Structures are given as C-alpha cells and as structure tokens.
C-alpha cells in the first residue's frame, strides 16, 4: 500500500483498510478458517484503545486495520495515524495489555502473546505523491 503525504489520502487508505477488515474477520461475512477469535480480539482491542486515546487527546489519533488471515493464528495489520509518537507507543502498550487479558481469560496457560512489528522504509523506498 502506498500512502501520500496528505490527510485525505491517509484517511482514504484507512477507510479502505477498515472496510476490508469488517468483511475479513473470523466472524465476518467472509469467514476464514479457524474459529479461535484471536485476530478479531486483537482488532477489537486495537480499535477500543484507539478510541479511548482519541477521546482523551486533542492530537489527531485514529486506528485502522484488518486481519491478514493465517487460519487460527494469523496476523493483524494496523495503521495508526497520529502526529504524536508517544501516543502511538502508549496505544501499543495498552493494546498488548488488553489483548493479554483476553488471551489469558480465553486460553489460560497457552502462552498467547501479541507481538508488534513496526515497519520501516528500506533504503531507496519512498512515498509517492
């Protein structure tokens, strides 16, 4: 996905990501294999924490995302839009905590954890206008 440097294009990309995410969920209209609910729970945690932070700040803050599949143990792609890196870090830690509470309650002793991988642009990469 290529994002432009304008709020409108970032919002549009986020909206598209969300629309895909509403459909492609373990409980959505295009239900994938697996029914442990892990990706749905991670998306729900991410959106819930994002809404809480957005309500508590005057800085732009929104969270968009979708599940990537992978059967019962796949990945979730999330995009956080903010001008405040400390808020993104706060969001990440709270999401991991919320998700851990869910995993411990749903699958006690199974060692389920959320791992966050933050992408970085590689040498030669650029954002297209």
pLDDT tens digits, one per residue of 25-43: 655 555 555 566 777 888 8
Percent of the chain with pLDDT over 70: 66
Domain ranges of the chain: 7-106
Please report, for residues 5, 12, 32, 45, the alpha-carbon distance to residue 102 in angstroms, rounded to integers and kept in the order given.
36, 31, 21, 9
C-alpha gyration radius of the chain: 15
Work out the pLDDT band at 87, boundaries 50, 70, 90.
Answer: very high
Q: What is the pLDDT of residue 2?
A: 34
CA distances from 71 to 26, 33, 62 (A): 9, 5, 27
- Length of the chain, please? 129
Residue written as token pair 């199974």: 110
pTM above 0.95, yes or no: no
């Amino acid at each position: 996905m290529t994002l432009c440097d304008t709020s409108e294009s970032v919002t549009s990309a986020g909206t598209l990501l969300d629309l895909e995410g509403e459909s492609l969920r373990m409980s959505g209209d295009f239900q994938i294999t697996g029914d442990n609910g892990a990706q749905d729970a991670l998306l729900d945690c991410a959106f819930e924490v994002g809404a809480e932070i957005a309500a508590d700040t005057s800085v732009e803050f929104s969270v968009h995302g979708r599940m990537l599949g992978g059967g019962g143990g796949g990945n979730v792609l999330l995009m956080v839009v903010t001008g405040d890196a400390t808020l993104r870090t706060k969001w990440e830690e709270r999401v991991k905590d919320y998700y851990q509470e869910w995993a411990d309650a749903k699958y006690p002793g199974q060692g389920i954890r959320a791992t966050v991988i933050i992408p970085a642009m590689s040498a030669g990469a650029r954002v297209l206008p």
